[in-house]
């Protein structure tokens, strides 16, 4: 990952190519996320969306291209699709969120008052302050997802990467998190989110990237009103009812 405090935008990707297992997963990907934007990254299963996020973070090597961020990787908030978090470990919710900062500070440094305030603020934003002392092993699936979001927010990121953050959540939790992500963007954070909820993405996001191995189309939702890029991206028939639901039929 290439990081520099002089980056013009929170995230700029140019000519990105990634190979996995001897096959090309991504090629010629150009992407930008500006401050204050909620950008949707959408495409079918296997399109390379998760790989793109991991390449931005430096977790997956790239064959070609550049990735430039305004902050180094530890300051980028990330909520993975399949979190590797030990929920059976004897931690409270507050301790689990603080652990994200502890990893950044190192084992020697102790959290300061500013870090404690960041944790409390993050818990408040995901409406988990009332459960701050509960063991994480006792949480429901939706509550666990909110803890993961809080861990990302505790870093006070200028760039937030979200990989399918609504999967498996009930509708009230989806709505709460959707409102939160919109608020974060309105406050100046750059938010890049993969999602399979195409209708919600068109309604909530400032810009969309349609991805299927490469960027098929991008732009403001109202500018993606032709069915052609949606048909190409998702390999749909032109009479598929999804196109009507998206308002692009």
Pairing of strands 23-33, 11-20: antiparallel
**Residues near 86 by beta carbon (within 8 Å), at least 6 away in sequence:** none
Mean pLDDT of the chain: 91
Query: Taking the CB of residue 128, how many other CB atoms lie within 10 A of it?
Result: 21
pLDDT at 120 over 90: yes
Alpha-carbon distance values, 181 to 2, 189, 206 (Å): 25, 9, 12
The domain that holds 60 is classified in CATH as 3.40.50.300
Reading phi first (left if > 0) and then psi (alpha if -120 to 50, else beta), residue 97 is in: alpha
Number of separate domains in the chain: 2
pLDDT score, position 106: 58
* DSSP code string of 51-112: HHHHHHHTSS--SEEEEEESS-GGGSEEE-SS----TTSS-BHHHHHHHHHHHHH-SSSPP-
Q: Are residues 131 and 236 in the same domain?
A: no
Task: Choose the final residue of a domain: 124, 156, 188.
Answer: 156
On the CB side of 178, CA atoms within 13 Å amount to 19
pLDDT score, position 226: 93
pLDDT score, position 7: 45
Alpha-carbon distance values, 136 to 121, 140, 167, 173, 200 (Å): 18, 9, 19, 18, 30
Q: Are residues 210 and 95 in the same domain?
A: no
pLDDT score, position 100: 87
Alpha-carbon span 175 to 159, nearest angstrom: 21
On the CB side of 12, CA atoms within 13 Å amount to 12
Q: Are residues 161 and 68 in the same domain?
A: yes
pLDDT score, position 16: 97
Task: Choose the final residue of a domain: 110, 127, 156.
Answer: 156
pLDDT at 4 over 50: no
Confidence of residue 74 (pLDDT cuts 50, 70, 90): low
Q: What mean pLDDT is predicted for residues 174-200?
A: 95
How do residues 85-111 score in pLDDT, each as one tens digit?
888 889 999 999 998 887 665 544 566
Token pair for residue 184?
A: 């974060």
pLDDT score, position 105: 59
Owning domain of residue 20: 1-76+157-249
Task: Give burial (CB, 10 Å; 0-12/13-18/19+) of 50.
Answer: buried
Of 110 and 2, the one with more pLDDT: 110
Angle between helices 141-153 and 113-125 (to 10 degrees): 140
Cα 160 versus chain centre, distance = 6
Q: Are residues 142 and 172 in the same domain?
A: no
Task: Choose the final residue of a domain: 95, 126, 156.
Answer: 156
pLDDT at 5 over 60: no
How do residues 143-176 score in pLDDT, each as one tens digit?
999 999 999 999 999 999 999 999 889 999 999 9
């Amino acid at each position: 990952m290439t990081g520099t405090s002089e980056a013009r935008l929170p995230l700029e990707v140019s000519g990105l190519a990634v190979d996995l297992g001897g096959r090309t997963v991504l090629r010629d990907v150009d992407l930008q996320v500006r401050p204050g934007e909620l950008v949707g990254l959408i495409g079918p299963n296997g399109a390379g969306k998760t790989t793109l996020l991991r390449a931005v973070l430096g977790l997956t090597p790239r064959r070609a291209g550049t990735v430039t961020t305004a902050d180094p990787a530890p300051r980028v908030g990330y909520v993975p699709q399949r979190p590797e978090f030990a929920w059976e470990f004897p931690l409270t919710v507050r301790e689990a969120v603080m652990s994200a900062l502890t990893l950044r500070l190192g084992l020697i440094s102790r959290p300061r008052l500013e870090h404690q305030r960041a944790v409390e603020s993050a818990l408040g934003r995901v409406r988990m302050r009332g459960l701050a002392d509960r063991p994480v092993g006792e949480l429901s699936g939706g509550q666990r997802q909110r803890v993961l979001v809080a861990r990302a927010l505790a870093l006070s990121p200028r760039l937030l990467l979200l990989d399918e953050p609504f999967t498996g959540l009930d509708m009230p939790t989806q709505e709460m998190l959707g409102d939160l992500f919109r608020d974060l963007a309105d406050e100046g954070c750059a938010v890049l989110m993969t999602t399979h909820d195409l209708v919600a993405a068109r309604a909530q996001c400032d810009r969309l990237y349609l991805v299927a191995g490469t960027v098929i189309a991008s732009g403001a939702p109202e500018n993606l009103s032709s069915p052609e890029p949606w048909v190409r991206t998702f390999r749909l028939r032109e009479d598929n009812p999804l196109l009507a639901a998206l308002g692009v039929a």
